[in-house]
Amino acid sequence: MLETTQKINSSFEFLNSVGDIPEDLFRELESISEFKRVKAGHQVVKFNEVPTKVYLLVSGIIRCYLSTESGKEYNKSFYFPTSFMGPLTALVKKQPSRFVFETISECELYEVDYAKLMQLYNKSTVLKRFYSKVLEMVYMQYEKRLVDLISLDATERYLELRKEHPNIDRLISQYHIASYLGITPVQLSRIRKKILDN
């Protein structure tokens, strides 16, 4: 019970760091949310599933990836505490998700009912402002990712990733990092060796 209370308090503090959330609105958000612990390798959102939830990641790491028909996986993004996530296009359009969201490690997260969140959104000016800020954050991250892919070479992208997440090599497998960078694990190994040699 104490641990759950600490998680709730921590989440309240995080939400307030994004935008001021009054306690009564936080309690309403809490009432449409469910706290979950999930093991590594769990698909929070499955391919072709019509999603109904958005998530606040409290601990652990989640990857979002796209699979080709041949079964090759491309990591679109990694999510670290504390971050919001979900297949936004699929949620808004109520269509099957093209992306899979899968836990890389054991994770703790809040699962929020999207339809109920939108009902709250429609009657709360505060939540509308908060939601806009979250969308701004998500878009800026997406824009940065796009710029990095276009303007940086593989070594520079890897160094940028390490700058953002210094422990990335200990937290995520070489295979997943290489997929995120758009290179093979062998290429990533060569980049790491070159950096060490220099």
pLDDT tens profile 81-133: 888 999 999 999 999 999 999 999 999 999 999 999 999 999 999 999 989 98
| Residue 172 half-sphere exposure toward CB, CA atoms < 13 A | 27
Of the listed ranges 70-74, 142-146, 186-190, the least confidently predicted one is 70-74
74 in a domain, yes or no?
yes
32 in a domain, yes or no?
yes
Q: How many domains, in total, are found in the chain?
A: 1
Whether 16 has a pLDDT exceeding 80, the answer reads: no
148 in a domain, yes or no?
no
135 in a domain, yes or no?
no
142 in a domain, yes or no?
no
CA distance 174 to 82: 23
The pLDDT score that the predictor gives to residue 10 is 64
**pTM of the complete model:** 0.88
Expressed as residue numbers, the domain containing 45 is: 2-123
The pLDDT score that the predictor gives to residue 2 is 42
φ, ψ of residue 38 in degrees (nearest 5): -130, 150
CA distance 67 to 107: 22
In CATH, what number is assigned to the domain containing residue 58?
Answer: 2.60.120.10
Q: pLDDT per residue over 136-175, tens digit each?
A: 988 999 999 999 999 999 999 999 999 999 999 999 999 9
150 in a domain, yes or no?
no
